[in-house]
Amino acid sequence: MINKEPIPNKMKALVLNDISDLRFEEVKVPQIKKECVLLHVKCCGICSSDIDRIFKNGTYHFPTIPGHEFSGEIVGVYDKNDKHLLGKKASVFPLLPCNNCDACRIGEYAQCSHYNYFGSRCDGAFSEYLVVPKWNLVLFDTMDYDVAALCEPAAVALHATRRVKLAENKKVFVMGSGTIGLLIAMFARVQGSKVYIGARKKEAINYIKSLDFDYIDTNNFEEELKRKTNNQGFDYVFEAVGSNEAISNSILACNNFATVVLVGNPHENLQLEKNVYWKILRKQLTITGTWNSNYNNFINDWQDAINFMQQNYATFKSLITNTFKLEEYKEAFDFLRDKSTFKIKVMFQNEKE
């Protein structure tokens, strides 16, 4: 390995040893492999899926280091042919495809049959260092590491908007004011749509207004929907929560011949009331799903997201409401699980820039 700086033998990491058994431990720095680099992780976002993995569902094996929304500096390369990468900043596409299945052969890696994944199927970025294939690197120059770590949810959001053909003068509703929902709204607006965001908490509504979006208060959903759309509903609806209530309201929010894009990952079994299901039939709605992002030579949501983030840097920076050190993980997860506090994106930050 060729190093930019001295690399220690041990590093600090958050290790999930069992469900609800997350520990701040010292572990070995992973060994670099051919066609890979050693990344010094600078920032890693905490995804809602990380909370479920740590406290409810577990990962695919124990122990595991979680974390899949991250950025860092390349500090080690395998051989001299990659010396030009030393010191480069990178975000990372976290999916590791098999490259052998039917989906991989056509570049649809999110549908890979035998994929690996940082932070759930293999060790991720709640750590100081991580070995990453060169193929997964998304290089950037000007952004801070915390903003660059938003590239994963940004690419997911951009991919969701690309599942439909948004057009000017069409009305779009985003159900959900979390990170993904807000990012979907940003990308939909850039494509010319009039965008409304559904939110319940006063702090979230105030933030939505600060971004110059209109909103629907989901505490009084049907009344607000009628008032703000003149009882017509929306042409495109993005459901970014994953609950029974949110999915039902997303269907109710539709105009005739509208499209619903299901983005939210459910935490429970889903059931639609008969009257809600009838809306799908009578209004001839289109229901479509979305998963992860495109990352190939034809469509690269990651590179497009990075470009957009650089052009809208201040807005993306404002999405990061709190940062913690790895050793402050108990405070971080207590804060995330406290529903009385307003937050958007919370991150682990290994060092200040």
46-72 per-position pLDDT tens digit:
999 999 999 999 999 999 999 999 999
What pLDDT score was predicted for residue 352?
Answer: 57
**What CATH architecture applies to the domain 164-289?**
3-Layer(aba) Sandwich (3.40)
User: Would strands 345-349 and 254-262 be described as parallel, antiparallel, or unpaired?
Assistant: unpaired
2-152+294-349 matches 164-289 in fold? no
Q: What's the pLDDT tens digit per position in 9-42?
A: 999 999 999 999 999 999 999 999 999 999 999 9
CA distances from 112 to 102, 132, 163, 176 (A): 8, 19, 18, 28
The pTM for the full model equals 0.96
Q: Which residues contact 182 (CB under 8 A, 6 or more apart)?
A: 174, 197, 208, 211, 319, 344
What pLDDT score was predicted for residue 353?
Answer: 52
CATH of 2-152+294-349, one of 3.40.50.970, 1.10.287.130, 3.30.465.10, 3.90.180.10: 3.90.180.10
What pLDDT score was predicted for residue 273?
Answer: 95
- pLDDT for 226 beyond 70: yes
CA distance 9 to 63: 19
What pLDDT score was predicted for residue 171?
Answer: 95
Contact in structure between 21 and 9 (CB atoms under 8 Å): no
Average pLDDT over residues 134-152: 96
Average pLDDT over residues 172-176: 98
Q: Which stretches within 102-176 are classed as H helix?
A: 102-105, 145-148, 151-161
Average pLDDT over residues 162-181: 94
CA distance 76 to 80: 10
Domain ranges of the chain: 2-152+294-349, 164-289
Q: What's the pLDDT tens digit per position in 329-353?
A: 999 999 999 989 999 999 999 975 5
What pLDDT score was predicted for residue 78?
Answer: 97
